[in-house]
């Protein structure tokens, strides 16, 4: 169990501590995953926890480039923010945050923690891929930004390098008539999802000009995975029920699902058809309302 708990005051202090302690130090956000990590032996060798709550990273801002969400923003604060919940284009984020039921977790857990834990089965990773988020990192050698799709590398594995931590999640301003949504099936409100899916759709004259269909990780591979064949099948098509149904069929057919103690691959394939159809239908309905 870690012995030192340091409340850092600046990002330079955090990166210097991470550089100095290497694998023995961990940044923490809300700390809601520490028990899980410790109980699986994933904190063995960690001696220092670095609390970043005093860095002023609890904000949701919007400027001409899009949304900027500080790493320390809790799920509850993100859900309450007008910038996120007033635009149908960000519906996937709202759906995913609302799907995390224990209110105590929503009040403590942070966006930084949900993305950087590298646990692909969480709800925010696929939602962040659907809305094309970018991840801003600070490190001892400076700052860098990368697409969230390039951030998730494997189970508990991210693009974070030694000395780096996640400072901000950015969502580039989507074009008008964009809607997104998230759906999941779970055995109970605190278990991992049997299957989750996030989608986004941009419409031009009621035709699909851009689409993303993303399955949550863990049951389709180690990271959130796009159903690219299904995406290609609907681009330029009219946003009708038939087209949505075809995309759902294609996503379910072309994706390889895992068998585990929660469900068989075959069951997941059937669930995928339903969840993708519902999520795409919600995205289209929201895109029609989205004013940009
Ligand atoms: C009872 C319960 C129910 C849950 N149900 C759900 C659910 O339904 N859906 C779901 O998606 N999730 C669920 N979760 C998981 C929850 O989403 C995570 O615990 C939460 O996202 C972790 O955020 P945190 O800020 O508390 O991270 P922490 O616990 O502080 O950290 C988690 C990991 O991320 C690293 N980290 C944190 N912040 C940063 C940063 N800024 N930069 C670099 N590394 C960082 C830490 O070093 C650690 O490895 C549940 C958790 C609990 C306890």
User: Of 166, 118, 163, nearest to 145 (Cα)?
Assistant: 166
pLDDT tens by residue, 189-244: 778 899 999 999 999 999 999 999 999 988 898 999 999 999 999 999 999 999 99
What span, in angstroms and rounded, lies between the C-alpha atoms of 253 and 21? Answer: 46
Instruction: Find out whether 200 and 290 touch, Cβ atoms under 8 Å.
Output: no
3-state secondary structure of 46: coil
How is 74-98 classified by DSSP, letter by letter?
A: BHHHHHH-HHHHT-GGGHHHHHHHH
- For ligand 1, atom 10, name the residue with the nearest CA: 122
CA distance to 4, 14, 33, 61, 163, per residue, from 149 (Å): 33, 25, 22, 22, 21
**95 CA distance to ligand 1 centroid (A)?**
17
Among left, alpha and beta (phi > 0; psi -120 to 50; other), residue 253 is alpha
Q: Indicate whether residue 56 lines ligand 1 (CB < 6 A).
A: no
Q: Minimal CA–CA distance to 229: which of 256, 261, 203?
A: 256
For the CA of 42, the closest atom of ligand 1 is 49
* Helix (H), strand (E) counts: the chain: 12, 14
Q: How many residues does the chain have?
A: 292
**How do residues 140-182 score in pLDDT, each as one tens digit?**
889 999 999 999 999 999 999 999 999 999 999 999 999 999 9
Domains of the chain (ranges; CATH) run: 4-51 (3.30.43), 60-172 (3.30.465.10), 178-289 (3.30.390.50)
pTM, entire model: 0.97
**Index of the ligand 1 atom closest to the CA of residue 74:** 25
How far is the centre of ligand 1, averaged over its atoms, from the C-alpha of 40 (Å)? Answer: 15
Q: Compute the distance from residue 135 Cα to the ligand 1 centre, in Å.
A: 16
Residue 241: strand, helix, or coil: helix
pLDDT for the residue numbered 277: 98
Using a 10 angstrom Cβ sphere, with 0-12 exposed, 13-18 middle and 19 or more buried, the burial of residue 242 is: exposed
For residue 225, what pLDDT is reported?
96
- A 10 A CB-CB count for 175 gives 14
């Amino acid at each position: 169990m870690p012995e030192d708990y340091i409340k850092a005051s600046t990002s330079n202090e955090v990166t210097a501590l991470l550089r100095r302690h290497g694998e023995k130090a961990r940044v923490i956000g809300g700390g809601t995953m520490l028990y899980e990590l410790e109980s699986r032996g994933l904190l063995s060798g960690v001696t220092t926890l670095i609390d970043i709550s005093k860095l002023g990273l609890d904000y949701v801002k919007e400027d001409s480039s899009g949304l900027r969400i500080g790493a320390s923003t809790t799920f509850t604060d993100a859900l309450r923010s007008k910038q996120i919940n007033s635009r149908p284009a960000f519906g996937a984020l709202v759906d995913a945050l609302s799907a995390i039921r224990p209110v105590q977790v929503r009040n403590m857990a942070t966006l930084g923690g949900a993305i950087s834990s590298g646990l692909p089965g969480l709800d925010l990773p696929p939602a962040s891929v659907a809305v094309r988020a970018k991840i801003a990192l600070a490190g001892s050698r400076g700052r860098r930004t990368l697409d969230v799709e390039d951030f998730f590398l494997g189970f508990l594995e991210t693009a974070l390098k030694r000395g780096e931590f996640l400072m901000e999640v950015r969502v580039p301003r989507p074009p008008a008539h964009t809607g997104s949504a998230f759906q999941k099936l779970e055995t109970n409100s605190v278990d991992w999802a049997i299957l989750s899916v996030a989608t986004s759709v941009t419409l031009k004259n009621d035709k699909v000009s851009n689409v993303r269909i993303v399955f949550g990780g863990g049951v389709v591979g180690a990271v959130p995975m796009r159903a690219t064949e299904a995406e290609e099948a609907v681009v330029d098509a009219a946003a009708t029920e038939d087209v949505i149904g075809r995309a759902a069929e294609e996503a379910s057919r072309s994706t390889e699902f895992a068998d585990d103690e929660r469900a068989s691959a075959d069951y997941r394939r059937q669930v995928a058809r339903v969840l993708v159809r519902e999520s795409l239908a919600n995205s289209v309905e929201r895109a029609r309302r989205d004013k940009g």
